[in-house]
Amino acid sequence: MSDIIIALDGFSSCGKSSTAKRVAAALQYAFVDTGAMYRAVALYFHRNHIEVSDQRAIEQALTEIEISFVFNSERQASDTYLNGENIEAEIRKMYISDLVSQVSAVPVVRHAMVALQQKMGQKKALVMDGRDIGTVVFPKAELKIFMTAESEIRAQRRKLELLQKGEDLPLEDIKENLRMRDEIDMNRSEGPLKRAEDAIDLDTSHRSMDEQVEFVLAHVRRIQRENK
């Protein structure tokens, strides 16, 4: 069976990464959470007091940033590393969520991340989730899924996720962060969040995780049948 690239795009907190992780495990494919890459850059900018308007400092910073993923057997998932430091927990915090959309809207940041992501897909057998995977990173991906969910449900999922990590925030703050990120992600000039014309829609509002995973796997089986 020939290996394919699966692009999962969509809004924040629709279950993209959780779905992608499980699809990748079922197919024994690699999984890349591209949001984590932009979060890592945002953390570096935060720590080094780099403003999103300071083009020169950003270009310099991009030469100093090395992002990698290392499988954590305890979590059964990959942890994100920035220059050798495990930053997985730190980049999920709210102060990074508040900053990351501005950082990911900077064109040179996107160019650097897209180039890295394209390198990761050279051998296919990959599930990648993000905002521009089916439109910019892999416009020829064999399977593109565009994920959505009702905003109330997304906010509640995000609240639960943060609570599990020890951050208890008002639902209204979370809704505002999601609303702000949607707006920046959809309206930036470079690689905006946009449904690829040939993407398949998946509304996760009233689906269980098992159903979401099965939805994607059913399409993988269909493509593999068609490609025989």
31 binds ligand DC (CB under 6 A): no
Strand spans (E) along the chain:
5-10, 30-33, 67-72, 77-82, 85-86, 126-130, 143-148, 200-203
Q: Which stretch binds ligand DC (CB under 6 A): 125-133, 153-161, 162-170, 216-224?
A: 125-133
Q: Is the Cβ–Cβ distance between 16 and 7 less than 8 Å? A: no
The distance of closest approach from Cβ of residue 95 to ligand DC in the complex, given in angstroms and rounded to an integer, is 13
In the bound state with ligand DC, the residue whose beta carbon lies nearer, of 2 and 187, is 187
Q: Which is nearer to ligand DC, 80 or 142 (CB)?
A: 80
Least Å distance between CB 34 and ligand DC?
4
Toward ligand DC, which CB reaches closer, 187 or 227?
187
For 55, residues 6+ apart whose C-beta sits below 8 A from its C-beta are: 108
- In the numeric block, which tokens belong to residue 165? 């990590």
Does residue 58 contact residue 106 with C-beta atoms inside 8 Å? yes
| 88 sits near ligand DC (criterion: CB under 6 A) | no
- If one asks whether residue 121 binds ligand DC (CB under 6 A), the answer comes out as no
Does 10 bind ligand DC (CB under 6 A)? Our answer is no
User: Which tokens belong to 136?
Assistant: 């910019």
Place of tokens 């050798």: 84
> Quick one: how many helices (H) and strands (E) in the chain?
8, 8
Among 4, 12, 29, 106, binds ligand DC (CB under 6 A): 12
Binding site for ligand DC (CB under 6 A): 12, 34-35, 38-39, 100-101, 104, 130-132, 181, 185
